[in-house]
């Protein structure tokens, strides 16, 4: 039986999602918690929708796990939250629809990067989730620059390329808004992301927002299809995976097959 697990976590204390020997990871903690709650001799493999990098947070992460035998979803949810550390929380456990794959069935991932560009709006209580800026940002300029990147492109200029992996992605939304005094949110939605892509995209907006670069510069970087040292990969702590979007239940299997054929074993990371 395949089970869908919805969870959130503070990424500050983790070396990303993916299990790594001798390092604390979200996958490692969740797999061990499932083993303990279900009293299994060995951990089961958990697959997630977006393998977040070291320090990146998640409010809307989705995962799945295949379990032999009967499982009470409410008991599993309560048990996991009783075993997991305080920086991880399971918000739902449900029987996965036929054809569901947390990773390959996903249509899109929505990330939000949070900035503060005004000392009057700086909140020390949120410092672990917001990047503090030294200059004021022009949101209108940033939105103009971001709009030019929308659509399906080769985002090699904004990715850490992996041998044999495609860097073609469909950027569905990239927009900025102010949410309060000095508070900015950058929303980035795509069908998938390659390694460090979100933080590089956001990083390309900073010199545009503070006037050091022209509005057209990020699009020129994209067209170059090679990494530009002038594009900063912003710190991980400002980034949160907010949502993973899936098609209707009867389209899950087809979407998973399509994604496997197009992406292969690509990483969906911020």
In a domain, 217, yes or no: yes
Regarding whether 142 and 80 lie in a shared domain, the answer is no
Q: Quick check: 24 and 122 in contact, CB under 8 A? A: no
Which of 46, 125, 131 shows the shortest CA–CA distance to 84? 46
Which of 87, 68, 111, 81 shows the shortest CA–CA distance to 201? 111
Say if residue 268's pLDDT is above 80.
Answer: no
In a domain, 100, yes or no: no
Say if residue 133's pLDDT is above 50.
Answer: yes
Domain boundary among 95, 120, 143: 95
Query: Greater confidence, 166 or 83?
Result: 83
Q: What is the pLDDT of residue 264?
A: 56
**Angle CA 237–147–149, to nearest 5:** 75
In a domain, 52, yes or no: yes
Q: Which two tokens stand for residue 14?
A: 């983790």
In a domain, 117, yes or no: yes
Per the structure, how many domains does the chain have? 2
What is the DSSP-derived secondary structure letter of residue 112? E
**CATH number of the domain residue 187 falls in:** 3.30.70.660
In a domain, 260, yes or no: no
Q: Which residues are catalytic?
A: 53
In a domain, 259, yes or no: no
DSSP string, 173-197: EEEEEEEETTEEEEEEEES---TTH
Phi, psi of 129 (to 5 degrees): -130, 0
In percent, how much of the chain has pLDDT > 90? 88
How far apart, in whole angstroms, are the C-alpha atoms of residue 73 and residue 242?
23
**CATH number of the domain residue 88 falls in:** 3.30.70.580
Regarding whether 59 and 161 lie in a shared domain, the answer is no
How far apart, in whole angstroms, are the C-alpha atoms of residue 26 and residue 43?
14
Q: What is the pLDDT of residue 265?
A: 46
pLDDT band at 160 (very low <50, low <70, confident <90, very high): confident
Q: Quick check: 182 and 119 in contact, CB under 8 A? A: yes
Which of 50, 8, 12 shows the shortest CA–CA distance to 30? 8
Regarding whether 127 and 224 lie in a shared domain, the answer is yes
How far apart, in whole angstroms, are the C-alpha atoms of residue 19 and residue 213?
39
Q: What is the pLDDT of residue 261?
A: 80
pLDDT band at 228 (very low <50, low <70, confident <90, very high): confident
Q: Which two tokens stand for residue 218?
A: 């990020």
Q: What is the pLDDT of residue 163?
A: 73
What is the DSSP-derived secondary structure letter of residue 20? B
CA distances from 168 to 153, 163, 256 (A): 5, 14, 18
Query: Greater confidence, 259 or 201?
Result: 201
How far apart, in whole angstroms, are the C-alpha atoms of residue 230 and residue 204?
8
Regarding whether 172 and 132 lie in a shared domain, the answer is yes
Regarding whether 141 and 196 lie in a shared domain, the answer is yes
Regarding whether 216 and 193 lie in a shared domain, the answer is yes
Say if residue 267's pLDDT is above 50.
Answer: no
In a domain, 255, yes or no: no
Say if residue 50's pLDDT is above 50.
Answer: yes
Phi, psi of 260 (to 5 degrees): -60, -40
Q: Which domain holds residue 17?
A: 2-95
Per-residue model confidence as pLDDT tens digits over 134-153:
999 999 999 999 999 999 99
Average pLDDT on 192-219 reads 95
Q: Is 111 annotated as a binding residue?
A: yes
In a domain, 30, yes or no: yes
Q: Which two tokens stand for residue 34?
A: 């499932």
Q: Which two tokens stand for residue 268?
A: 């969906």
Q: Pairing relation of β-strands 131-132 and 108-116?
A: parallel
Average predicted confidence (pLDDT) for the chain: 94
Domain boundary among 53, 68, 95: 95
Per-residue model confidence as pLDDT tens digits over 57-97:
999 999 999 999 899 999 999 999 999 999 999 999 999 99
């Amino acid at each position: 039986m395949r089970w869908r697990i919805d969870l959130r976590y503070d990424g500050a204390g983790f070396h990303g999602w993916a299990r790594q020997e001798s390092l604390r990871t979200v996958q490692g903690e969740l797999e061990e918690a499932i083993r303990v709650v279900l009293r299994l001799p060995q951990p089961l493999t958990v697959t997630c929708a977006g393998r977040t990098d070291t320090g990146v947070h998640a409010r809307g992460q989705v995962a799945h796990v295949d379990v032999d035998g009967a499982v009470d979803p409410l008991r599993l949810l309560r048990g996991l939250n009783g075993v997991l550390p305080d920086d991880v929380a399971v918000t739902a456990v449900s029987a996965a629809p036929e054809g569901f794959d947390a990773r390959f069935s996903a249509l899109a991932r929505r990330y939000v990067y949070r900035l503060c560009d005004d000392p009057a709006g700086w909140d020390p209580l949120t410092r672990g989730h917001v990047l503090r800026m030294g200059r004021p940002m022009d949101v209108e300029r940033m939105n103009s620059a971001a709009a030019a990147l929308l659509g399906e492109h080769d985002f090699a200029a904004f990715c850490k390329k992996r041998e044999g992996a495609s860097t073609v992605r469909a950027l569905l939304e990239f927009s900025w808004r102010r949410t309060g005094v000095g508070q900015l949110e950058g929303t980035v939605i795509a069908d998938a992301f390659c390694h460090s892509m979100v933080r590089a995209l956001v990083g390309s907006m900073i010199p545009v927002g503070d006037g050091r670069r022209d509005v057209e510069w990020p699009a020129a970087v994209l067209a170059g299809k090679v990494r530009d040292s002038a594009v900063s990969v912003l710190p991980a702590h400002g980034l949160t995976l907010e949502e993973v979007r899936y098609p209707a239940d009867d389209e899950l299997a087809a979407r998973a097959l399509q994604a496997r054929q197009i992406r292969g074993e690509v990483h969906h990371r911020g």
